[in-house]
Structures are given as C-alpha cells and as structure tokens.
A and B are shown apart, each in its own frame.
Chain A
Amino acid sequence: MRRARGGRARLLLAALAPLWLAAGPRAPFERTERREACASYHPLRQPHFGDTHVHTAFSFDASALGVRATPRDAYRFARGESLGLRPYDEPGRARRSPPQRRPLDFAVVTDHAGLLGETHICKTAGLPGHDSLVCRVVRRWPLLAYYIVNSRAFNVADPARYSFCGPDARHCLEAAEVPWRRIQDAAEEFYDRSPACAFTTFVGYEWSGNPDSNMIHRNVIFRNASVPPLPVGYLDENHPEGLWRRLRDECLTPDSGCDVLTIPHNSNLSGGRLFDVQTPAGDPIGREEALARAVMEPLVEVLQHKGDSECRLGAEGRTSADELCGFEKLPFGRMDRQPLTPLWGPAPPRSFVREALAEGLLQEERLGANPFKYGIVASTDSHQGTPGLVSEEDFPGHAAGGDTSRVEIPRMPDAVEFNPGGLAVLWAEENSRDALFAAMRRREVYGTSGPRLVVRFFGGWTYPDDLCESGRFAAQGYAGGVPMGGDLPPPAQRVPDAPVFAVWALRDPGAAGQPGAPLQRVQIVKIWLEADQSRERIYEVAGDLHNGASVDPASCQRRGAGFDELCSVWRDPDFDPSQRALYYARVLENPSCRWSTYACNAQGVDCSEPGSIPAELVACCDGSLPPAIQERAWTSPIWYAPPVPSGRLDSRSSRFPSGSRK
C-alpha cells in the first residue's frame, strides 16, 4: 500500500510538473497560457526587438502585387532564415533574396482582415465565387484589380462586399476562416514554448479603413491563442468604435481567456482622423469613450514604411522649432495623392503623434481621461512577409503602393518617398507572450527607425545626479520612479520640485559587415499645457549636437566621432507643478546614408551626366531626396498630472470603464 501511495504521489507530482513549469518564476504579469518557463528571466527586464506590422500573400494588396510569402514564411524570415522575394521567374523561383542579418525576438503577422475571404476565394478553384468576373480580373490582371478592389473595400466611407460573397457575405466569411486558421497555426508553430524562449509570435490582423482615402488603420494583436472565430475588417465595421465594440464583445468577455489591444498607424496619412475627438455621430467624445479608447489602444506606431508620424516640420504655435521633424516625411497627406504631385501638401492638424499626445493632455484636462495616452512603437508594414527587414543598405522595397517589382527587378526598389520602416522594442522580463503583451499594456516600449538601439527612460522625483555612475541604473530607476509609459508618482511634498528623468542609451553594435552607427545625442521632448494651449520644447540632455559627424554620400562611409553609450540625469528646469505635461526621449545616431542613396550608388548613377539617367533614377540627382538620415529611437512618454483637487476626475482613478474589460 505504501508503495502504491508513493507511486500515486509520484504520479501526482509528474502531473503537476507541467503546471509548475507553466507558472514559471513569480512574475509581475498575469500568466494566461501553459508553457515551459523561460530560462532567461530578468526582473529588471530586457529589451525585445520585433515587428508588430507585417503582411503576407494573405493580404489582398500584397497578393495582387505578386507576393507569395505566407505567414509561415514570414515567421521563418523573422527567425533569421532566408526568404525569396518577387519577382518570380517562369518556374516560380524567386529572383531576389535579401539578407535577414539578425533574427527578431518577436513578430506579428497582421494581414488585412478586409478581403481575407475574397482573396482566398479568388485563388482557390471550386469555391463559390471563384469564377466571378471580379475574381477573373483578379487572376488575369492583378494590378488592375489592385486599384479596383482595394478602393472599393477600403477607400470609401461605406465599403461594400462583392456579389460573389453571397447573401450576408456568407461565402466570403466562410472562406476567411481558412486563412485565419492558417495565421493562427503559423503563430502557434513558430512560437517557441521551450525554455529557450527564442522567438515569440502573436496572432493578429489589420483593420484597414481609409474613409475618403484617410488612413485610420489599426493593427489588432491578441495576447494568446484565444482569439475570436473571425477577424473584424473594415467591411464588417467601418468605424474604429465598431471594431473596439466587436473586440469587447468577442474577446474581452469574462473567462474567455482572450485579451487584445489595437495599435493605430499612419496618422501622417489619416487627414487628422486617426486621432479623432468626435464620436461617429459627430459629438465630442466623453469620458467613457476616452477611457475605453485608452484601454483598447495603449500604443501608436510612430514610423513605418509609409513615413514618419512623430511630428510636423515647422509646427506653428510652439515654443521651439524641431528641425528633426523632417525625418522621413511624406510630401502628401493622403495615399490617393501620391500619383498626383500638384495636390501634394501638408497634412491637416492632428496628423502626427506629438499633436495627438498634446491633444490627449487637453482632453484629460477637459474630461479627466486621456484618449491618446500612447506608448510608442515602430514597425515595417512590410507587404513582402519580411518582418524586421529594416536595413537601409539593401532595402528591396516593401511591396506596398509605389513598389513596381511585381514582374521585374526595378532599378529603384520602392517609391523614393517611402523607407524601410522600423522596429518595436518591448521591455519585458522574458520572451513570452504574456510578458511581452504586459509590456505593451503598460507601454514600457519604444520604437526605432531600424537600428537596435537600447534605451531606458525613467521618471521620478529623487533620482541622484550620479545615477548613471551607480552601476544600478535600472534597479534604482524602477525603485525610485516609473519607466517609460508610466505616470509620475505623486511627489512626496505638496508643492513638488521638478521631476527628474534618467535616460540611458546604448548604440547598436550592428551585424557582420554592417556595423551600427555611433550615438550622437539624446533629447527629451516635453509637451505641456499652458493656459489651455499645448506647448512643446526640446532639451538636449546628453551627447554632442556639434560633434561634426557626417557621411560621404558617394561611399556611404561615416565620418566623425560619436558615442557608444550615453546617459543623463535631467531635471526639468521649466517645471510648473500646476501644468499637465509629458516627456519622452529621442535618441539620435550619427548621420548615415538613406536607402535611396545606397540604391542610387548601386546603380552607378552619375549626376554629372543627366542625359544618361533612366527615368526611375532621376530622383537620385534632382535634389529632392536627403542623401543622409539620422536613425533614431523614440521612447514612450512619462506623464505628469498636477495634484487632483478633491472631487475632480482623474484617469488614473478608473482604468477600465464599465463594460469595457474584465
């Protein structure tokens, strides 16, 4: 009997072992999945580099432009394996294969939810609708279909399904289940649940609305494998509020195990509508809407393939001009203006993240809730299934609008105003879905324009001046304040001294054959409210603005000194405790060649002989392109709120509005 009991005990222990493994170390985030514990667990967190925005051939536009990569291919590429790219030869062999020099830590395939089923039907013989006129046009003249079908599904205020979708769109919704299942299967297959925790995937998709050609897209990212039966596209819900309602109804229900967030992108092409402060009915948003939005949408994508959205060059009404806002700016404010150069012009108000952050302070003052309390990430928006392909040196284009390499290798791999995009960096204890998702939720994230800069940013009231030399930067940073994405804790005294910010940046070491550039400087961007107006100021806090660094456009050799590491403890010299404010850090590398300069050099363009330059390469010599850029990182902000008078609303007092979250 004793032996038998001992056997049962051993059996019980054996049965419980996986659960113990699933629990892992005691973590400050909720564990929602069964997996083995990560061998690498750091309580003070580590940076994880990834891409939250990637399309494959499951997206209609990518497919029409000749992309064949599947979500599995995309995850393989993210892990460092090679991937063939368009164009393909007659036997179907890819004619290009860009290097992915460094694997990513995580990636999310975010194919367009809209047209997911339609694309599958048009590609799959035997399905209802496969022989429809629209699908015939899609197969025979895919580029023509690209303009026709995309515009109907995404670029109008009231998108409509094609008749081949059948009654209530049944055929297309049923067809969408297949790619949606494959997206989930690929995410599961490549998610490393072993103790190595080498690579994390998330199930996701993109909700892609362009009402009147104003881009109000959102990436939808699920925490774990518990996801709704179908993604919600613009054809299903044509307002972001509808998307969020569906996500609340279909995911954020008690005991569902499902959790989700959305990340808006391309505010630079949104006509100011990405950061709308009106309800769909046209009323000003209220406190409930602001809180719901802040919960659903904790992050914003500041840079991607289709331009930088941080700030407006030459912003008026500010206390300082920020010349660095000229970085990767598109010359048009709507995608439909791209081929119509006479209509190019500045984007309307609230088209940039900094403007939204300022608007958020104003809304918080008005409502007691900030709808735009955004953490900052960047990503690629690759439509080639190439997560993290951010190298300027051998950029093959991203197969989005303007990319002509569907059938032939072009001289210029992309429209010259676009760029390779950036990376999202998440500070998390370990490389697991729960840890990374929690990092996104608390906004302890930052974005880079491509390089793998490591940046920490803390805010508090009592950091010592010698924090950088203490050897305990992170430990003291967490102990004495909040990391990026947080709210400054209340000060010890009633009338506080100025807050103190500690920022530390480490250069990208680069990869074999592509060393990273040295750092040039660190800035802190402050936005505050003053007499119901937002103000901004840029402070140089570390490094050397005048270090004389440059790059030779002919050879792309970098010149001049820089820094391997920068660190600073900075106290706001203009702090007014009565003014609502936020602070974020921006880290700049020394100048380096833009991708277009590499491409022009590779083509052997000689600007002294204008007559010899092919039309595709005219931009190499007409002065319209910056030959060099300064790669950078943007941290999520840290917010300061004045002491709340009793009875006054404060967004920190209620994280989740009623009915929005468990």
Chain B
Amino acid sequence: MSTSAPRSVDSSLISRRTVLGAAALTPIAAFLAACSSTGSSGTASAKLTGQLNIYTWPDYFSDKDLAAYAKKYGVTPKISTYTDNNTLFTKLNSAAGAGYDIVVPSSSWIKQISDKGLLEELDLDRFNLKNLDQSLLNRNYDPHNKYSIPKDWGLLGVVYDPDAVGGEIKTWQDFFDAGAKSGASGRIRMTSAAEETVGPALWVQGKDWNTKKIADIQGTEDFLTTFAKHVKTFSAFDPNALKSGAIVMAQANQAAARNAILLNPKLKWVVPGPTSELWVDSFSIAKGAPDVERAYEFLKYQLTPTVQVNETVYLGYPASLNGLRDKLPSNVKESDLIFGGPDVDFDKLTSFIVNPDTYPTFQDIQNKVQAAAGA
C-alpha cells in the first residue's frame, strides 16, 4: 500500500479513524478492561494478566474483536498508532521503537524495515496459511512471507462523477486527460503519497514504478507539475466532498470509494489500466518484541475465519481469508466494492517497494507538485 495510507488519512472514516489518529496512544486498554470486567466478572479468563503492545494504523482493529481477545486470553492489547509507514519505520529505527510486539507495515515498506533488521523472522509453522488467499502470499515485497502475514489489502483506483468528467475513466491517461478539462479541473483529489502521484505518470509511459532508473522517475516531473494546477487537494479523502460536488474525481482506495458511493450512488469506481497498485497491510513481529509468544497468540487469533470476517465488515478492507467474498453477511452494502469490484485481477496489479536510492526522488517530485498546485 502506499506510504500515505489511503486509510490512515481517509476522512471517509473520520469519526473513527482520523480523529483517533491524532492521539498517539488510544486508551483502548481502559475500554477493554471495562468491557471484560462487566462481561465475565468472576471468571478466571476475565482477569487481565499481561500486556501486548501493538503499533498500528489508527482504529485498525475492531473494538469487539480486541475485547473478545482480551477476554479469552486475559491480555490487554495496548494500541499505539501511526499515520504512515514512514513514521513506523522512523520509530522502529530509533530507540523510541523498542517495546512493541506487533506492528502492521504495508507491503511497500516491509522490505526496507526488514532489511534494517527491525522485524522478527516468522515461524510460519505456527499459522494455518492454507486458510489465507494464496494470491496474497509469497509476493515480491516479502518472498516466502519471511517477515509478514497479510492482514488486509487495498487498491489504488479512481472514484468519479461520470457526468462531471464527461465520460468513463478506464486508464490513468483518461484520468489525466479528464482532469485537465473544465468539468474536473480544480475539483480533483490526489493522494499525498509520492509513489501514488508519480506511479500513474510512469504507468502512462509504460514504465515500472519500481524502476531503479532515477531519470525515468524525474521524467514525470514536468508533466506532473503542469498537471498540479488542476488538483484541488492532496489532503484526506472526504466522501462528503464527492457528495457535494466540491470534488468530482479522486484517487482513492476501494473502501474510501465505497463510502463515497454509499453517499452518492451516481459515482463510479475504477481501477485504471494499464496497471495500478495493490497494497497489502501485514502483521509482523517487531525485533526484540517483549513477548513473542503472546504476539503469535494474537496473530493466530486475528487469522481465525470469524475474526477475519468481522474485521472486514468493520474496516471495509478485505482480510486475507480465502473465499472471504462468500463468507460476508448478506446485509453488507456494496460488498463487491470491498474487493475492488467483481473482476479485479491481482496479476495486473503492482505493489510498490520503497528503494532508498529512488524514494527521495519520488518525494522531491511530490514536494514540487504540491508546491506547484498552490502557486
């Protein structure tokens, strides 16, 4: 997924995600203590005997599942949050990063974080990986899942008002062409993740966003800084802006798009060609985790089918459970959109991998694009 967190900055989930994200520590421990003591007072399992330190995206676990876990195992998950992978990396890479058991890095950063020796190698025999969607395993960012187990996944796509943009968007070229026309110009939202700005411009040229050629990346600068004047915002995705018409075309992940479409059914969602992003947020165990056993216990709990279904309904992002689509409750609205539509082909998608040699160039272009947009 992207560094900028299509979900972390999604104000589509503002009530339970972005606002909570402002807090460095979520006082879930107190909440859970209250839940479990009222739920099963007097039983041995209700006594919270330990602590599990989870460093994750804001509001990225259902409170119900956390409370059920606390009740079952007598362990209080203590949640700390970050709003982008860069922050996770920075913290784990510093003395302040000690003490976490579980972290939830995205596919884009797993290689970088594990290369720095900041993640424990996983003992895969302790998981039932056959339960998981096999197409999410053994991917290029973590061959053989040495350091990560997929939690949930998302796509980079476009949600748009076909009337305002003057037709259907099928490719990233369509996105840029429509954005420059009067119907959409000045009413576009792009993400603040550098690779999600530069990536589409590279894809339009038939190039790979994991290229090692800095010249290729720099080659998008003029085009993007020229296009920048059409962009209204690089801030959080706001479904209400798509409802009101303040934004008519937005880069978004499928969960954010679904929220907007639930508010305004005339909006359309597309994963543009020739390719787009698949990000996979993953469970990892931090190097030197205070309680590795508990970490495994928590991961096994999170990977149970019932919990995975609950988490999907709660988050709006598909968990990694195999055959999940058929297991969702029938009352989930626009459930197809949770999976990015009926016919998303993972083979046509690409996952970004942060490369220290090229990543600063992506950021440099992003800075210039944002500066140009406000000029």
A binds B: no
Q: Which residues of A contact B (CB under 8 A)?
A: none
Q: Which residues of B contact A (CB under 8 A)?
A: none
